[in-house]
Chains A and B, each alone.
Chain A
Amino acid sequence: MNKVILTAGAAVIALAWGFSAQAADAPKLNDAQIAHIAYTAGVIDLKNAELAEKKTKNADVKAFAEDMEKDHKAVNEKALALCKKLGVTPEDNDTSKSLVKGQDEARAKLEKLDGAAFDKAYADNEVAYHDAVNTALEKTLIPNTSNKELKDLLETGLKIFQGHEEHAKTLDAKLK
């Protein structure tokens, strides 16, 4: 059975960001869906990074966004290549959909901000978003992954994204 263990705090964040598909009675996610969620999470952060690169005038924020772009592209390329190798076609699902919706809304808010207000809001969102994705990877997606190679890639991805979260927190603390 699919046991989802989330701490109360993490559950609130996860729900807020769209990881609500893993309710106690929800069907178990399959590898094709998990791959889709992981890939989608990367595409979303690429969009966030593109927006930041377009809007920011802060060198630290720009450098951070460029780092996000490079890493998420690299992880997603690996994920696509692995899916191809395994013959897995990523399958859209409610978790992916609500992730997209949540971050589309977050980006719409960011679009309206400029200067220091934008930088701070972008950094805040990056901390919260990476935290939500990392929690989902650690507690739900990785434990439910059947294929060993996909699991290994997600575990590497988790370490990379935990690095991003820490980097985002440091950036966020520097911004007023």
Chain B
Amino acid sequence: MLRPARYALAATAGLALILAAAAPTAAAGKLQVKIDNLVFAPAKLTAHVGDTVEWTNADFVAHTATAKDGSFDVALPAGKTGSTVLKKAGHFDYYCKFHPNMKAEIDVVAK
């Protein structure tokens, strides 16, 4: 079973509380996707507009995270990370340009 990705804590709990009290919108989160052996994990992600998705490529070949509709196209060299900020709500299917058998998706909901 794949463990669904949760928001990485952007700040300590205390700071988060202060931010939540001070600002009408919560701090943007950071979500992690790992690529290992040509598999995006988790393959399905739910995020909010403004969140950052960071992909970590653990493979020895380069990959990409490329949205089908062109919303994002992130280069992921071997052993490196890459990220994008999710700017609009919607359902995004994405794949690797070099290995189109690698597929995953992100649901982006409004804050």
Contacts and interface: CB of A to CB of B under 8 A. Distances in A.
Interface of A: 67, 70-71, 74-75, 78, 156, 159-160, 162-164, 166-167, 170
Given A67-B98, A70-B62, A74-B78, 16 more contacts: A71-B61, A74-B60, A74-B61, A78-B60, A156-B37, A156-B59, A159-B99, A159-B101, A160-B61, A162-B99, A162-B101, A163-B96, A163-B98, A163-B102, A166-B100, A167-B99
A167 B100 CA distance: 6
Interface in B81-111: 96-102
Pairs A-B, 3 closest by C-beta atoms: A163-B99, A159-B38, A166-B100
Interface string B27-61: 00000000001100000000000000000000111
A76 to B, nearest CB: 11
A29 B54 CA distance: 43
A15 B49 CA distance: 53
Which applies to chain B's interface (DSSP): helix, strand, loop or mixed?
Answer: loop
Nearest to B100: A166
20 contacts: A67-B98, A70-B61, A70-B62, A71-B98, A74-B60, A74-B78, A75-B61, A156-B37, A156-B38, A156-B59, A159-B38, A160-B99, A163-B38, A163-B96, A163-B100, A166-B99, A166-B100, A167-B97, A167-B98, A167-B99
Question: By CB atoms of chain B within 10 A, which of A78, A167, A170 has the most?
Answer: A167
Nearest to A73: B61
Interface of B: 37-38, 59-62, 78, 96-102
A170 B100 CA distance: 9
Nearest to A162: B101
B38 A160 contact: yes
A67 B59 CA distance: 15
A156 B37 CA distance: 6
Contacts of A75: 61
Contacts of B101: 159, 162-163, 166
Contacts of A71: 61, 98
